[in-house]
């Protein structure tokens, strides 16, 4: 190998090495920015998860407490306290609508001036509770940026 070929090979190797360094730095910077974004959003996600967990407990208690077309007034009060408290700040519109639907029905079923409807039944409350739980899950997944396929595959791995 003469000097000309040696210099050409040396230049190619140095160029590839420099390109690798540039690509590595770019990817590292991109990952750093993504991690900074996640750390910045983490308090919101944790607050959403906590509020959803607490509210799901309330909605499930409402679903189980239905007797004779009435639900436990303490649970209705807790639901409205959440609905008019932290919920508008942390929950998505779809999740708020789901929570509001359950609250409206619980209020109608407990209001003595309203006629009891056929909707004042346990299975309806069970369905509304499930809808709220699902909308909470979807909201948290969407806000955290995790694809649902990835999350479902992770759950399947945990189950097996």
Residue 28 CB-density burial (10 A; 0-12 exposed, 13-18 middle, 19+ buried): exposed
Residue 9 belongs to some domain of the structure: no
- Res. 75: pLDDT tops 80: yes
Domain of residue 103, residue span: 42-159
Handedness of CA 91, 92, 98, 100 (dihedral sign): positive
State pTM to two decimals.
Answer: 0.68
Residue 18 belongs to some domain of the structure: no
Pull the structure tokens for residue 110.
């407990």
Question: Residue 157 CB: number of other CB atoms within 10 A?
Answer: 8
- Res. 69: pLDDT tops 80: no
- Res. 50: pLDDT tops 90: yes
Which region among 12-26, 82-96, 109-123 has the lowest average model confidence (pLDDT)? 109-123
Residue 5 belongs to some domain of the structure: no
Total domains present in the chain: 1
């Amino acid at each position: 190998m003469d000097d000309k070929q040696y210099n050409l090979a040396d230049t190619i190797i140095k160029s590839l090495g420099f390109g690798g360094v540039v690509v590595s730095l770019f990817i590292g910077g991109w990952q750093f920015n993504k991690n900074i974004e996640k750390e910045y959003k983490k308090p919101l996600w944790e607050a959403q998860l906590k509020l959803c967990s607490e509210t799901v407990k309330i909605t499930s208690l409402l679903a189980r407490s239905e007797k004779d077309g009435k639900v436990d007034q303490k649970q209705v009060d807790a639901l409205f306290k959440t609905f008019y408290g932290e919920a508008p700040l942390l929950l998505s519109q779809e999740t708020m609508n789901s929570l509001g639907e359950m609250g409206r029905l619980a209020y109608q079923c407990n209001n003595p001036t309203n006629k009891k409807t056929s909707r004042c039944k346990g299975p309806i409350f069970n369905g509304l509770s499930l809808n709220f739980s699902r909308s909470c899950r979807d909201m948290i997944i969407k806000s955290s940026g995790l694809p649902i396929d990835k999350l479902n595959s992770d759950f399947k791995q945990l189950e097996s």
